[in-house]
Structure 1
């Protein structure tokens, strides 16, 4: 399953909840404001070792660079959804 997080971990508990409920085989995708986690050292440490994808377009729009995870674009996200099924979306 894909855990899709949209909200900044500094403004909501969505990422925290996604981590709490995710299965070890789940993929984690950060997009929209959630991408700040991939640039924040405290979150990079917490996300280490988790299959993580970060929407590159959202990073670029916020002037950030990812320190962790794999870069993903919309076509890649669609491919992941086609392969793994509908995501669990966290958008508080």
Structure 2
């Protein structure tokens, strides 16, 4: 059962991102939103974790949050709110890491 994992908290404040990446299934995807998009800043440890996770076409980031934080990174596919909804419908489950 494929799951979309939604992370909104900064990867520098706790271990949610690291825990999520350890539990990912082969068909699961990750959507970064809010302060979690800071994980896409090159050179940071969370960025390296995302690279090592080899998510290819399964890593997404909310476009509005990327723009608000002036982050551009080809590692994640930027999605708008309708894209977020489409992802939610595409996957069997949605798990929000609160």
Structures share fold, TM-score greater than 0.5? yes
Deviates more, 1:58-67 or 1:2-11: 58-67
- The Cα of 1:80 is off from its aligned counterpart by 0.7
The residue number in structure 1 matching 2:47 is 44
The residue number in structure 2 matching 1:21 is 23
Whole-Å Cα distance in 1 between the matches of residues 68 and 81 of structure 2?
Answer: 14
The residue number in structure 2 matching 1:12 is 14
Unaligned regions of 5+ residues in structure 1, if any?
Answer: none
Aligned-residue Cα RMSD (Å) equals 1.4
- The Cα of 1:60 is off from its aligned counterpart by 0.9
Whole-Å Cα distance in 2 between the matches of residues 84 and 67 of structure 1?
Answer: 22
- The Cα of 1:20 is off from its aligned counterpart by 1.4
Per the normalisation by structure 2, the TM-score is 0.83
64, 80, 84: which one aligns with 2:87: 80
Whole-Å Cα distance in 2 between the matches of residues 12 and 26 of structure 1?
Answer: 21
Unaligned regions of 5+ residues in structure 2, if any?
Answer: none
